Amino acid sequence: MNQQRIDELTAVYRDGLLEDTLPFWIDHSVDREHGGFTVALNRDGSVLDTDKGLWQQGRFSWLLGALYNRAQTLGLADDRRRAEWLALCRHGIEFIDQHGFDPADGRMWFLVTQDGRPLRKRRYAFTESFAAIAYGEYAKATGSDEYAEKARQCYHRMVERFLDPKGIQPKFTDTRPMKSIGSAMITIITAQELRDSIGLEEADEWIDRAIETIARDHMKHDLQVVMETVGPNGEIIDHFDGRTLNPGHAIEAAWFVMIEGNRRNDQQLITMGQTMLDWMWARGWDSQYGGLLYFVDLGGLPVQEYWHDMKFWWPHNEAIIATLLAAQLTGDAKYETMHRQVHDWAYQHFADPEYGDWFGYLHRDGRVSVELKGNLWKGPFHLTFRTSRFHFL
Amino acid sequence: MNQQRIDELTAVYRDGLLEDTLPFWIDHSVDREHGGFTVALNRDGSVLDTDKGLWQQGRFSWLLGALYNRAQTLGLADDRRRAEWLALCRHGIEFIDQHGFDPADGRMWFLVTQDGRPLRKRRYAFTESFAAIAYGEYAKATGSDEYAEKARQCYHRMVERFLDPKGIQPKFTDTRPMKSIGSAMITIITAQELRDSIGLEEADEWIDRAIETIARDHMKHDLQVVMETVGPNGEIIDHFDGRTLNPGHAIEAAWFVMIEGNRRNDQQLITMGQTMLDWMWARGWDSQYGGLLYFVDLGGLPVQEYWHDMKFWWPHNEAIIATLLAAQLTGDAKYETMHRQVHDWAYQHFADPEYGDWFGYLHRDGRVSVELKGNLWKGPFHLTFRTSRFHFL
């Protein structure tokens, strides 16, 4: 990849983040009356639903804190903007502190009302992972030991829950135990983030363990596939749930592994990430319409999930990151081609030049399915900052 | 509607059931080795997943028992086929008896393995409703008091759970109580079925109460809408969940109310059902591509569910029934037109003349999204028999 292309992309990703995504979300999602961030926004930024998803409280706080902490590396010297980012990060952190946790069991809520009254808790510990990285950046920004400790605590609660979800009525019986790649993935990226922000002591150990799980249990070399869901020892489960692949998710995991390989200068890890990317690109890239299919079946059979062939924003963002990273780490021209394919498709179809930011949900052929910009899952997170992370830093 | 058209439709629906849907499911779903019915079938009837959803065990057993019991009324005198239906109904009933219930709390499973080991239980009591009507038909077919009692017991467990879901970790907190039209609907149809099959004593009382709930809390005359989800006293909840309408579901409820009106010779109930149909047809019919949209927002805002604009088989089947019934009960030609619209659209897009039965899941424009014929929700249930019920009987 030549310098001109790198400069071009740098501009697209950095400007996209700072001049498009961030203003959209700062203008429309900050709730100055009740605290926190409103997550459900329509195409033009108007509010669709005042309820507050806790995922996005953590993710947006993290983004703001991370920008503040990395401004220098990003070549941003605008102190006024930095001060705003830190203030808004604190705004999110305060809402999480006040309304994010159920005092009865210490677990985090998934959804609360505009003013923070609890609506829903889920079985999973993903909310804790986003709170952990938000607290981590805030601790770094303010030098606060208290917040570093909160970050650690959220992290520990998350990994404990992955290992032993006690006190929670399980979704399935013990008849056919299954595990998803999600817990390993989120363990890697959360540990990576907290290693950077608060120097999480046991990060490497957790990362090693999670990468080993993926390599041993989820990667199937004979089938050239990263399984989304397997048995406890990596058994392939020949049922709908077991056969359903999520290419964008596995491609996201691929870049987590590649950045670890890059950091450790470990060629084996880089190769592992590349392999995951190659396999799941081959399975997920839609040769008919372009873009990445959401779900595909291991054996090409029908998938039970209704939205299997839709195009979601986040797998495209993750694939932009993964292909660009692979291109930079290996110098292999095929990744530059793949990167150009997914970059072009994504910017042609997801971007909304009229109102800013990206659409989240397209039909297979790229037509917009729903015009909203934000909901419980889509916010300013899976966007260009993650793309630009390894690029500038 | 003239007699020629009625005869034409009678043939389509009866033959569709007896010569298309039923043979497809009898040939492919009966598990003679492990008992019960395999539910997940591909386009050609081959097995996609051996797990057994309990909804379909009950629904298919009900269908077989109901056919056996109503053969004479249907003008079917083929004793060999009747004997097969009863034997297969028993086959399903035995599987439910052996594997349908969790001895720990008496609640029914949602999903079990091929040989009946439990996989998943859900919070909701819909499985119990389908078991109840299956037991009811089997009791009627065999004259068994024991099975009539089992039917009653399932019914009571279902309504009790709707009223007081004790011992089950709720999905939402008490901050914003909501109720869905589903419990009222399923109460009506289950009580109607059990009144016919086992003479359920308190059926009318339950039906009255459920219809009153719909009339009072879910129907909004100022907005001309049947709300899917409301507050405990019918409050409109201005959030995604509260605004999301399910036109096919409300149209299904409409014909439950209309057949009750017809039975009681109660013009007010017939008008209520007609009104529900009119409103939700206006909201759900897709003027661009034809067919019924799955979800629409009360105010035309974006819907959060990804499959909002897909076309599912069951709302079309329910709308065929509702429009045909309205045409017959009122003589109003507009319902004949609506019936023709939905009938034609459904048979053009869902039917699979090559392998039989219907596809279940289409894109908005009528292209097939996934070719499977059966899964946890789609079986031989929402099909032509329900259409033909009031027509022949």
pLDDT in tens, B33-78: 999 999 999 999 999 999 999 999 999 999 999 999 988 777 777 8
| pLDDT of amino acid A74 | 73
Under an 8 A CB cutoff, do B370 and A120 touch? no
| pLDDT of amino acid B384 | 53
- Measured between CA atoms, the residue of chain B closest to residue A301 is B48
At A121 the three-state DSSP class reads: coil
Contacts of B288 in chain A (CB under 8 A): none
At B143 the three-state DSSP class reads: coil
How many angstroms from the chain centroid is the CA of residue B254?
A: 12
Of A366, A323, A362, A359, nearest to A345 (Cα)?
A: A366
* pLDDT, tens digit (0-9, with 9 covering 90-100), for B309-359: 999 999 999 999 999 999 999 999 999 999 999 999 999 999 999 999 999
The total of other beta-carbon atoms located within 10 Å of residue B331's CB is 10
How many angstroms from the chain centroid is the CA of residue A120?
A: 21
CB contact at 8 A, A89 and A137: yes
Residue to substitute from A38, A113, A178, A306, interface B, most B β-carbons within 10 A = A306
Contacts of B169 in chain A (CB under 8 A): 168-169
| pLDDT of amino acid B391 | 43
Under an 8 A CB cutoff, do A371 and B239 touch? no
| pLDDT of amino acid B386 | 55
CB contact at 8 A, A172 and B120: yes
Alpha-carbon distances of A169 from A80, A127, A147, A172, A174, rounded to whole Å: 48, 18, 31, 9, 12
**If you ran DSSP here, which 8-state letter would residue A285 be given?**
B
- How many residues can be counted in chain B? 393
pTM attached to this predicted model: 0.95
CB contact at 8 A, B60 and B38: no
Cα-Cα-Cα-Cα dihedral sign, residues B236, B237, B240, B246: negative
CB distance from B171 to chain A under 8 Å?
yes
| pLDDT of amino acid A392 | 38
Contacts of B308 in chain A (CB under 8 A): 369-370
pLDDT band at B387 (very low <50, low <70, confident <90, very high): very low
How many angstroms from the chain centroid is the CA of residue B61?
A: 14
By Cβ distance, the residue of A172, A304, A372 closest to B375 is: A304
Under an 8 A CB cutoff, do A302 and B372 touch? yes
CB distance from A182 to chain B under 8 Å?
no
Tens of pLDDT along chain A (393 residues) come to: 788 888 888 788 888 888 899 999 999 999 999 999 999 999 999 999 999 999 999 999 999 999 999 887 777 778 899 999 999 999 999 999 999 999 999 999 999 999 999 999 998 899 999 999 999 999 999 999 999 999 999 999 999 988 877 777 778 888 999 999 999 999 999 999 999 999 999 999 999 999 999 999 999 999 999 999 999 999 999 999 999 999 999 999 999 999 999 999 999 999 999 999 999 999 999 999 999 999 999 999 999 999 999 999 999 999 999 999 999 999 999 999 999 999 999 999 999 999 999 999 999 999 999 999 999 999 986 555 554 454 433
At residue B272, does pLDDT exceed 90?
A: yes
By Cβ distance, the residue of A49, A304, A307 closest to B239 is: A49
Taking the C-alpha atoms of residue A198 and residue A195, their distance in angstroms, rounded to an integer, is: 6
Tell me the sheet residues that pair with A361: A312, A370
Contacts of A176 in chain B (CB under 8 A): 113, 119
| pLDDT of amino acid A294 | 98
- Measured between CA atoms, the residue of chain B closest to residue A49 is B239
At residue B186, does pLDDT exceed 60?
A: yes
CB distance from A178 to chain B under 8 Å?
no
Mention every residue, 6+ apart, whose C-beta is less than 8 A from residue A197.
A69, A133, A136, A137, A139, A140, A151
| pLDDT of amino acid A339 | 96
Under an 8 A CB cutoff, do B176 and A119 touch? yes
The nearest CA of chain B is from the CA of A390 a distance in Å of 32
Alpha-carbon distances of B52 from A243, B38, B85, rounded to whole Å: 17, 6, 20
Contacts of B310 in chain A (CB under 8 A): 306
| pLDDT of amino acid A393 | 33
The nearest CA of chain B is from the CA of A207 a distance in Å of 31
Taking the C-alpha atoms of residue B372 and residue B16, their distance in angstroms, rounded to an integer, is: 18
Under an 8 A CB cutoff, do B239 and A363 touch? no
Q: What is the ipTM of this complex?
A: 0.93
* pLDDT, tens digit (0-9, with 9 covering 90-100), for B14-40: 888 888 999 999 999 999 999 999 999
Scanning A67-126 for CB atoms below 8 A from B yields: 113, 117-121
**If you ran DSSP here, which 8-state letter would residue A136 be given?**
H
Residue to substitute from A239, A311, A377, interface B, most B β-carbons within 10 A = A239
Mean pLDDT across chain B: 93
